[in-house]
Structure 1
Amino acid sequence: MDNKLMQKFIEDHNCTFLYLILANEELKRISKLPYQIQKDFDKKLTTIALEHVAAHNIPDYFIPEEDKPEGKMQDIIDE
């Protein structure tokens, strides 16, 4: 595990708690991969997740909500 990369990320962004939340979300995503893919990993899943977050190599987990225009109740139900 590249501790220098992770330490630099935490120092630059001053967000240890956010780092751990994102690492946990990344771990959940990696854990859902098929076994055929997971068996080829050379590191533990937690290590891979921490490194992905430190390298900004993660998908967007939190997407802002879209503002929907107000309409009739039936239009909202049909969506």
Structure 2
Amino acid sequence: MKVTDLPQQWEKEKQDVERPHEYNLRVPLEDAARIAALAELYPDRTESDILNDMVAAALDDLVSQGPLKERLKNTN
């Protein structure tokens, strides 16, 4: 999935996803404001949901193209 496809996904009904690993993430204030704005636009999604989806989409993009394609594909 591409990051640009996420708004369409966020408009659909939320699916529960198991997330067994936790990360601590610090973001610049401007990015935090953008994430908060997205969560307001899509009230069924928390800021954590938004971040999880964005990270997953970025990783999908890296796996599907670019110089890291083979290295990341083999970790699945």
TM-score norm. by structure 2 comes to 0.32
TM-score norm. by structure 1 comes to 0.31
